[in-house]
Structures are given as C-alpha cells and as structure tokens.
Amino acid sequence: MRKVLRLAWFERTHTFRTSRALVVMLAIVVAVCYCLQGFVVSAVRSHASNVEKHSNVSVIELSTIRPDARVLDGESLSEVSGLGHVVSVVPWMQHDLDLADEGDWPSPTVSPGSLWATTYFEPRLPKMIKGDRPVSLQDDEILLPDSVPGGSLRHLYGKTVMFGYTHINGKYQGSYRTIPLKVVGIYDNSVPDKDGENPSYVSENTMDALFDGNVPESYTFAYVQVDSGDNVPLVQKKLAAMGFGVAGAAGQQDVTGILAALMSIGRFMFPIVLVCSLVFGLFLSVIWMKQRKRSLALLRCLGYTAGQLSALALVQVVQLVVAAGIAGIILGAGFSLLLAHSVDSGDLLNLTNLDSVVFDPVLALEMLAITVAGAVIGALPLSVRIAHTQPDELMRG
C-alpha cells in the first residue's frame, strides 16, 4: 500500500491538471450545497429563537367568553402571576385615542379615525415596518399602525405627537384631553386581528394614565407569557383547574411557512451532493482509464498487482474529491456570509438575528464524508475492471 500511496503522490500534479474541470464542477456543487445547508441551519436556529422569544407559541390566552369561565380581574390575575413558569401576565385593555393635530393626518381632508390605544404585549405584535421591535414600551412611547383612512402614518415615525382621548369626568360625562407620546415604531396592520383594524400600542402605565387610574374592574382577555413553549401544556392544565377560560394563542403561521420550506430544501442537500459525487467518481474513473491505459499496462508488467492498481485509482479519486470538497466548503462559507448578510440587512423572509454558519465542523465533515463516499462508490466498478484488464488489452486500447 505504501508503494501505491507514493505513486499517487508523485502523480498528483498530473492528476489534478487532467481532471481540473471535474474538480471545479464538484467544488461548486459542494459550495452551493454547503451554503444552502448552512443557511437552513442558521434560519432554523433564528426561527426557533424567535418562536421562543417573540411568537405566540409560548403564550396562553385567558378569556371570559365561556359563560363558566373565571372572572379576569386584578385578584385572579395576581394568582396567575404566582404560578410556576409564568413570566408575565398582561390584561388586554383599549381606550379611544386619535391624532389631536390635523397637521399630523396623512390626508388634510380625511380623518384617520380612532387609533384605539391597546396594551402592548410584544409576542402578539405583527411585523415592524419602521423601527425596531421593542421588548417593552416606555411610558411616553407609542407604536402606530401603518395604514389608516387617508394614507400611511410612516411620516410620524420618530416624532413626538399630540394625541387626544376622552377623559371620564363622571357617569355619562367626559371631556377631551391630550397627551404627548413619541412614535417609536410603525407596524404592519394589513391583517387585522381581535385588537381591531387600527390599534396603537402603549405601555400599561400609559394605559392607566388614559383611564386616569380608573382601570376596568374586569377584563375580557389576558395574556400569559410562559418561560418556554415546552411548559405551556403544564401551565394550561393548572389554569384550567383554577377555572379560567384557557386557549393557546399560537397560530399556524408561527410554526409553518418559511421554516417548513427551508427544512424541505435542507433535506435535499445531502442527496444532491451524494448523487453528484457518484457521477463525479464514475466520470473520473472513465477519464482516468482512458488517459492511463498504457501506463497501467506498464505497471502491470513491472509487477503491480490488480489490487494495487485498483487501490491506485481509488486513492487518486479520493485525492481529487478531498481537494474539491475542501475548496467547496471554503467557497460555501463565503457564500453563506453573503447570503446571510443579504437576508438580514434586507429584512427578507421575515427572519431576524440571522447568524451565518461560517464554519460548522460537523456540517463540513458530513459534507466531505458524503462527497468522498459517493465518489469512491461511483469509481469502484470501473477501477476494479481496470485492475483486472490484461496488459495486452490495455495496450491495444
């Protein structure tokens, strides 16, 4: 075997030169597949992180819609806050709110209508259009919807705007008051939910200020944030036993969509590399035989056995495949950086905090192992045939 390895090392330059086109093609295939597979891994990690932190998967909704459901008030919600695995409890409230200054309207002739101040609960917020998605809001901050009658409110982003609301003076009595709030974000309200068509979002303290401290005695909904989606069933069971009307707040869009598509793509990457490697090994063995027929006949005459010649063919195939695989992984890492940067900076695919998989040792080894195995299997039949061909037949060919 040592003699075979020495001969393969001695011929390495000639081997690479004569098979350069195939090596480049395989390197490109490996690079693309490594990049896409790495991107899928990164996207899945990003999605999993976002699901845990920002989606409804780890949220439980309490409601009083069911007739026998327990009342949601300060006392009962305080009990919920004390349960294990519960991070926070946010009661759902709304209060009328509008743009007090007509100069802030998107259209001078069309009123944007009520913006309905709503308690901010970050996991339920749709996609942001302008500004970052805040974990919580300060007492003087507000998030506005993008689309309202008359146009868009994007022009108010970053400004401190005067809002008007109804202050309750007594039974059936009210007066119009104003409150200054800074617009720290504009969100996408193209798909309305139970909050209404054009809700704005404020902190609980701002909501208390709008109610002038006279918060509702009971609430229609409340949202319970659990520390992990895995613990949601346990907390739901406890809440149901306490008499609350319980429902999961997660929608299908939280667990399907782009993630499912990316995972489907990821499943095809390794088979593609394997098939390409098989084809590479087959073609390489054909080229190798055509170029070396006379030298193989000479080696047989010099005493090389059939097994040694077969091993020589496979060793040289492995040399080329390893070189192509390493080059492909290096290229793929570079492509992965560019792809992740483009997706993250362009806010594409609704993926946030996307970290590129620059070099994943496990992924690199898996890709290299599949490439080598596929090429060796593809080259094996012809290499065995080459080794057992008689020298006179090789000379005639």
Sequence ranges of the domains in the chain: 2-52+256-396, 57-254
For 174, the 3-state DSSP assignment is strand
Residue 252's pLDDT band (cuts 50, 70, 90) = very low
pTM for the complete prediction?
0.54
DSSP string, 223-279: EEEES-GGGHHHHHHHHHHTT-EEEE---GGGTSTHHHHHHHHHHHHHHHHHHHHHH
Q: Which are the contacts of 9, defined by CB distance < 8 A and separation ≥ 6?
A: none
pLDDT of residue 251: 43
| pLDDT single digits (tens) 289-323 | 666 666 666 666 666 666 676 777 777 778 888 88
Give the span between the Cα atoms of 276 and 278, in whole angstroms: 5
Residue 235's pLDDT band (cuts 50, 70, 90) = very high
Q: Which residue would you say has higher pLDDT here, 44 or 149? A: 149
For 130, the 3-state DSSP assignment is strand
* Phi and psi at residue 322, to the nearest 5°: -60, -40
Give the span between the Cα atoms of 308 and 294, in whole angstroms: 16
